Structure 1
Amino acid sequence: MASSRASQASGSAQGEHDLRRRNVSEKGENGSALGGPSEVDKKKEIPTKNQTSFPKILDDYEFLLAPLIFTALAFFTRMYKIGLSDIVTWDEAHFGKFGSHYLKREFYFDVHPPLGKMLVGLSGYMAGYNGSFEFKSGEKYPEELNYTFMRLFNSAFGAMCVPVAYYTARELNFRRPAVWLVTLMVLFENSYATISRFILLDSMLLFFTFTTTLCWARFHRLRHDSFSPEWFTWLVLTGISIGCVCSVKWVGLFCTALVGAYTAEDLWNKFGDLNMKKPTLISHVITRVAGLIVIPLLVYMFSFYIHFLVLENSGPGDAQMSSLFQANLKGTDVGKDSPLEVAYGSRATLKNMGYGGGLLHSHIQTYPEGSQQQQVTCYHHKDANNDWFFYPNRADPLYDAEAPLKYVSNNHVLRLIHSQTGRNLHSHAVSAPVTKGDNEVSSYGNTTVGDDKDHWTVEVVDDAASRDYSRIRTLTTSFRLRHTTLGCYLRAGNVNLPQWGFKQIEVTCAKENKPKDVYTHWNVESHWNERLPAGDPGSYKSPFLRDFMHLNVAMMTSNNALVPDPDKQDDLASQFWQWPVLNVGLRMCGWDDHIVKYFLLGNPIVYWGSTASLFTFGALVAWYLVRWQRGYEELKPSEIDYIHYGGFYPVVGWFLHYMPFVAMARVTYVHHYYPALYFAILTMGFVMDWFTKPLHRKDKRLEWAVYAALYVAVFALFWTFRAMVFGMEGDNKQWRHLKWFDRWRITD
């Protein structure tokens, strides 16, 4: 009994000793958890003559000199011959055009948040560009557009990923050779260098992914200095970086999930610490909520606030927003000279008030199944097929243009007649084509032919201008249309019809009555009636939060609609399994002999080595788990901690950035793997650091020889494929030697 207690006391003392040693180690410059000297040990060292030597100075200031050299090389790899191709290359056609909209201050719509595109616009502004170029794919840039500067601006983000990777590897406690390996793999990764050279969002996305990882790693290293000024600084920087990466592309949410997983684990551990006082635990929770939820959300919302502030003119994306928002844009036709109150005989467009809702639309095409009557959809493009006439129901006298005006009011029963085809908005007990639980909505009959299934009852929901619901007002009145006979409600959700419906939004008659379902809410957007005076409904402002939510749901809906089209062959698309093994590349432009050609392909050793490291790490963890289960306790607490944060979290980061593309149905391309690739690179840094530890103890020169071979291989393969980065000129057949696999479509 006494022996057991003594053993327990000894184990406890040893554990406290290990914890103190680990705490001191974590405050070291780098590598201390694997046996490197801590700052305390360094201070105890007796000065020698060699400490003032040049090699010693280089060693002491390596953390400044090495990243400066790496950064200089990064600017070379990202910027050398960057203006060689003078044509709009790949997705420059999209993002350059979005930058133009900012310079012309025209409202547009895109599936990505606005920060990256605003930075593209900023680069155009700094380059003296006026926004007049259309950025058509393959078109030559005009002389007055300094596209080289705009590309340089973007490439700077890609170049700065290199020093960020260096310092991240240090914060993860990698030893110097592994830190250099991670840095060189990012520096000489051909795909990173190539995609950073064009007017795209990817360099910005990568940069903020890298900064988020760095801030998280540094914040973790400061966990024993909680609530210190430096701890607060890195917490806030982590939050800002999360906000920025999410504001460039929603892929940033995966990086947010990584930090969220760490935070949940960290707070759970603190919750289990019985020595921690409750006020301290509550303070930890509050500061993390503020730093990692509130700050990122504010950054994200602020990017949209600036987006709305800059884009004050009417543009091609107006229809994605609410009618009231559009009415406040300069140069819009929405609400312009529209009579304020709607009367029978008025011609109008009806806007669905659901997030991302479109305009009620019909066309001569019919449903291939069901009633086979004329299709009714929701559509964002503005044309004459969106126009409808308000007509009395069949029990009331026929509409007479000479009779006194009669205004459309709450609880009125009426008909809506399509202006182009003359058919009535109609519903019946036939299942909708996609949403089978709802009734189909069609256009049927004409002004004289029809039945009571053409009747709709107006139910006013709200009015932004008045509490008087006696009349329907343009833009401001929100109302529902209940089918008078069936009792269902006209609805346009976020379901898209198949190709026979031109992938427009399905309109149904929802059987279930949900008054708060905004997809059953409608308003009159544009209104024409010569017998009524013009109004000014656009004087009412649309609230920012409503516009913010509306645009984000519209983005989500459009993003979900980016699914492969079975009727079209997309030679640029690829599958998720092809990315980690470098099975496929991507042609970024035309492949004619007179065009400077760019091929998006990674560095083979970076891809294959990082992918192999993921499996190696899994085998490593499995090995030690089996050993632990069998009673072996060969790992020190500091080594377990190092595996946990230096190896496990990079693997989690890779998993979070990769697996969603396995599950999602949208079209995927090779560049979707690039954020995940970074975490695979970090994993390789850990694996090499771990397995070369015995060499470090035995013979450092042998260890450096192993790393030197890797350094040379990484650079050599980058240089072998450099033409894909800097531009391939002339006959593409001269690059036949680079086509290692048939899937690499480098030659015809």
Structure 2
Amino acid sequence: MAAGVRVRRPTSPTPSLPHTAPHSQRFPNPRHDHLDADERRAAASRGYGPGRKMHAYGGINMTSAEWKLLGVVVIIAMSVRLFRLSRPNSIVFDEVHFGKFASKYIKSSYFVDVHPPLAKLLITLAGFIFGYDGNFDFKDIAKVYEGNVPYVAMRLLPALLGVATVPLAYITLRALDCRATTALLASLFITFENGLITQSRHILLDSPLIFFTALTTFLWIGFCNEDKQEPFTDSWWTWLALTGLSLGATVSCKWVGLFTIATIGLGTLKQLWILLGDMRISARLWTRHFVARAICLILIPITFYMFMFWIHFLILSNAGDGDGFMSSEFQHTLNGRGMSDTYLDVAYGSVLEIRHVNTQGGYLHSHPHNYPTGSQQQQITLYPHRDSNNEWRIVNATATPDPYTAWSYQSFQHVHTGDRIKLRHIATEHSLHSHDYRPPVSDVDFQQEVSAYGMADFVGDANDDWIVEIHKGDKHDTESWKRLKTLKTQFRLRHVMSGCYLFSHKVKLPDWGFDQQEVTCNKNAVLDNSLWYIETNTHPNMPADAPKANYKRPGFIAKFLELQQVMWTTNAGLTERHAFDSRPDAWPRLRRGINFWVKDNRQIYLLGNPLVWWLSTAAVTFYAAIRGLLIIRAKRGYKDFENTKVVKYDTLCGFLFVGWSLHYFPFYLMGRQLFLHHYFPALYFAILLCCGVFDLVTSALRPRVRLQIAALLVILAIWNYAYLSPLAYGLPWTKQKCKNAQWLKTWDFSCNDFLDNVSSDIA
């Protein structure tokens, strides 16, 4: 251990283990004059008293030499992560998404993403500061950055957050009462972890996520150390409030931050449970502890999270390609999507825009393009944007002699439930039609193709006829349950000849259908997917004073809750397979990586440092096995948990094990598309746990021997890093070296993309 570093007694930040150090082992603090009588009695019972020495702030007690050493490590981490940051000068992996989102932020163009906004806002801020105008399209992987795209600055932000994670790992282990050698080992393991390096060098969200996860962990441990000294001091409140802010930032980067909240939440519940069982703690004092944690660890994170979305909505004020995911009420709040007041009453002859209730509410749409198969008649689709091709005239199918003109000279008639109608497409003068052809994509016998058929002055046939069935109206307007009213009535359209219902779902048509949503006539239609409503309604004979309708403008809370639902639904819908996806059981074994970029006989492939990865997995397994053995021994009457050393390392490693478990095992419950990078927050805890196990295993050795073992592990980690570095940086490599590096058959980076021979110069 470094000279001058005082060894402190065991800390207890673990959120899950049932055993904790007794109160008599906690550090005292003389600062209790401000406490009331209950608090003084509680402080005295927990070992607080005058004349007793307090530990270092937040549990960190490092010499100046140790801080200087940490500074050297940070410089090394910067050189590793910022090396050739401008290369490649083309789009890498998911930069196509997150760079594109930065463009939309700068142009205030509304979009929808499955991730919360904080990390994207930080990346956008970096681009904006360096003059990005939002005009680059980020269309394809390997597309060269052209024009005014400060991609290096945008990559720099996650890279610097990746660097900042290194000292956080060091001071976290020091706050956990690990030796300086152990903390140094952890910081160097993270410095030379290839996967973390690769992920932090590009415009991606995982590096900010890992940074805030690490920051939250450190702040929580610091709070726990302060809590053992004296509650409700200024420093106690500071650590607790900062923990809450960091929790909010973590979950505002990605929803994986919910697992960090669970980790801290379990720790909080354990603390409160222990206090509840301490008869020396009054009910009033316990309530103060509960309220303080509720404010700082629940209210502050929620407020921060919502504030990020307030900024998100404030910036994205214009219509964009994400409009179709949102409700009509939400879209109405965007510039360019506001709708003028429209007639409330629907009558024969009205020109309507009809929207689907479910599947993000696209419009019933047609255009002058035909199906390539089936009837080869004009296509009917669901389209998410306003367009003149969304307009239909509703007429009475029973009117004679010509239902398409009868409305113009007959008396004004409302459309009631049970009426038999036709819908004529305004732009092409074709009628909404169905017949006994299977749809082009949903090729099943209980669905029929829906097409647009006919021409001007053609009356059509019974296959154009539909029955209106009102499903629901407005509770404040009883008439809307009986007859069609704009915005207020939800209805179904039943085909007269076949009995099927006009239906749409999330199935997309191929390129010939412009990737628009399929519309069919379904005999077994799910109710939600066969409901429609009228958004706009015009009629040339409508009285000028006729009642009008419009959407109610939702407030922030309503918009926030709706977006959370859309994000959840969209995230759960990402079930398509990807060439480089993987399942959670493969992650701890580092079975495969992700191909990020291939161009010019070079490749970037996300793959971890094998030594760091497998050692951390071994440490997780080792702790679980030893903990199980200790539990069995306790059942047999052994007093292992009365040993101070056992308590210390069980507490330390147990906390990190719980953090690893809560960031790893929930992925087994997810059916969505998953990748190796989803394991990175769990990997951070596993690396710290690995070093905690190292601290235990080497605790009986002399400092020099311990340092030599740590040096050997670091040298091996650096060798692994250097050996696989061409994949992290996209450096020149030969086919033979590539094949030699494929230690596992499942490491599927493409060696054939490299040259047989390359010069020693790095281009």
TM value normalised by structure 2 = 0.77
Deviation string for 1:42-100 (max 9, x for gaps)?
A: 979xxxxxxxxxxxxx9722453233222222222111110021111111111101000
Secondary structure of the 2:641 match is coil
- Greater Cα offset, 126-135 or 314-323: 314-323
Given the superposition, is the C-alpha separation of residues 503 and 213 from structure 1 closer, same or farther in structure 2, using an over 3 Å criterion? farther
Gaps (5+ residues) in structure 1? 1-16, 28-39, 45-57
Partner secondary structure for residue 144 of structure 1: coil
Pick one of 637, 642, 647 that aligns with 2:648. Answer: 642
Matched AA of 2:703: K
Structure 2 residue 180 is matched with structure 1 residue 176: yes
Query: Which of 555, 560, 563 pairs up with 1:543?
Result: 555
The corresponding residue for 1:238 is: 243
> Would you say 1:199 and 2:209 are equivalent positions?
no
Aligned partner of 1:187: which letter? T
Partner of 1:460: 473
Per-residue CA deviation, residues 313-370 of structure 1 (Å, 9 max, x unaligned), is: 11111111222332332233x62696676543334333455694444568987999xx
Residue of structure 2 in register with 1:321 after alignment = 326
Match of 2:595 among 584, 587, 590: 587
The CA deviation at 1:588 is 1.0
Q: Quote the Cα distance in structure 1 between the aligned partners of 2:171 and 2:273.
A: 28
Residue 150 in 1 paired to residue 154 in 2? yes
Secondary structure of 1:694 counterpart: coil
- More displaced 10-residue stretch of structure 1: 269-278 or 86-95: 269-278
Q: Does the 8 Å CA contact 1:219/1:234 hold for their aligned counterparts?
A: yes
The whole-number CA distance in structure 2 between the counterparts of 1:257 and 1:61 is 35
Superposition map of 1:143-542 within 5 A: 143-224=147-228, 225-332=230-337, 335=339, 342-352=346-356, 356-360=360-364, 380=384, 387-392=391-396, 394=398, 398=403, 400=405, 401-403=407-409, 406=412, 413=419, 415=421, 417=423, 419=425, 443=450, 448-449=461-462, 454-457=467-470, 459-461=472-474, 477-481=487-491, 496-497=506-507, 523-527=533-537, 541-542=553-554
Cα distance change of structure 1 residues 348 and 600 upon mapping to structure 2, 3 Å threshold: same
How many angstroms apart in 1 are the aligned matches of 2:320 and 2:199? 29
- Residue 266 of structure 1: CA displacement? 2.4
8 A contact 2:435–2:463 mirrored in 1? no
CA drift at 1:589: 1.0
Cα deviation, 1:409-440, whole Å, max 9, x if unaligned, reads: 78685646373795659999xxxx99x9xx98
- Residue 553 of structure 2 aligns with an amino acid whose one-letter code is K
Percent of paired sites with the same residue: 31
**What aligned pairs does 1:65-76 form with structure 2 within 5 A after superposition?**
65-76=68-79
Give 1:228 deviation, angstroms: 2.2
Within 1, Cα distance between the matches of 2:630 and 2:645? 12
RMSD: 4.5
SS at match of 1:164: helix
Structure 1 residue 267: Cα displacement: 2.3
How many Å separate the matches in 1 of 2:655 and 2:21?
22
CA contact (8 A) 1:242 1:255 kept: yes
> Corresponding residue for 1:682?
688
2:259/2:663 contact within 8 Å kept: yes
CA distance in 1, matches of 2:259, 2:135: 36
The partner residue of 2:603 within 597, 602, 605 is 597
Distance in 1 between the 2:226 and 2:219 partners? 11
The alpha-carbon deviation at position 308 of structure 1 amounts to 1.0
Partners in 1 of 2:85 and 2:212 — Cα distance? 22
Structure 1 residue 454, shift from structure 2 partner: 2.1
TM-score, L = length of structure 1: 0.79
Distance in 2 between residues matched to 1:454 and 1:245, nearest whole Å: 52
- SS class of match (2:488): strand
Residue 733 of structure 1: CA displacement?
5.3
| Secondary structure of the corresponding residue to residue 27 of structure 2 | helix
Distance in 2 separating the partners of 1:691 and 1:491? 69
The 1:177/1:329 distance shift into structure 2, 3 A limit, reads same
CA 1:351 to 1:139, structure 2 compared with 1: closer, same or farther past 3 Å?
Answer: same
CA–CA distance in structure 2, aligned partners of residues 41 and 613 of structure 1: 41
Give the CA deviation at 1:503. Answer: 10
Q: Give 1:681 shift.
A: 0.9
Instruction: Please say if 1:562 is aligned against 2:582.
Output: no
> What does the per-residue CA deviation read over 1:101-146, in whole Å, with 9 as the maximum and x for residues that have no partner?
0111111122212222222221110110100010122211114222
In the alignment, is the contact (CA less than 8 A) between 1:335 and 1:537 conserved in 2? no
**Any conservation in 2 of the 1:353–1:523 contact (CA below 8 Å)?**
yes
Query: Contact between 2:244 and 2:300, CA under 8 Å: does it hold in 1?
Result: yes
**Cα distance, 1:365–1:113 mapped onto 2, change above 3 Å:** farther
Structure 2: how far apart are the matches of 1:677 and 1:25?
35
Separation in structure 1 between the aligned mates of residue 472 and residue 417 of structure 2, nearest angstrom: 6
Q: 1:717 to 1:444 in 2, by over 3 A?
A: closer
Q: 1:692 to 1:360 in 2, by over 3 A?
A: farther
* Distance change (3 Å), C-alpha of 1:170 and 1:523: farther
Confirm or deny: 8 A CA contact 1:204 1:248 kept in the other structure.
yes
Q: Distance in 2 between matches of 1:738 and 1:240?
A: 43
Secondary structure of 2:105 counterpart:
helix
Distance (whole Å) between structure 2 residues aligned to residue 644 and residue 411 of structure 1: 70
